[in-house]
Amino acid sequence: MARSTVEIVKVWRHRPVVHSVTDARPSLSEDIGRREKRYLIQMSIRTICLILAVAVPVPWPIRLLFIAGAVFLPYVAVIGANERGKDLPAPADTTVPNQNEIPRHRREIVS
């Protein structure tokens, strides 16, 4: 006995969603490591700008660029270090009715 198309669609809609490992976001330790590395690179550039502004005899417009880098790079570095996973791809939609899982908005660890 053949099933109708409507019955097949109903069965298909009630199938459980299968998640793939490739859908998973990077771990928290990987994310923190990536942000720490980026922060250290930016602060190294800031240190180089500070040394160049003081030690190298260059014209004032160039010296002002070095000083601006030494002043504004810490702000940019801290903002970038505190962005948690902003440049990572968004996770696949995994919402399923009657799901026995902690809601997404409650997954953050705060101090």
Q: What single string gives the DSSP state of each residue in 35-99? A: HHHHHHHHHHHHHHHHHHHHHS---HHHHHHHHHHHHHHHHHHHHHHH--STTSPPPPP---TT-
Confidence of residue 23 (pLDDT cuts 50, 70, 90): low
Amino acid 86: pLDDT: 61
pLDDT band for 102, please (50, 70, 90 cuts): low
Question: How long is the chain?
Answer: 111
Between 11 and 49, name the one with better pLDDT.
49
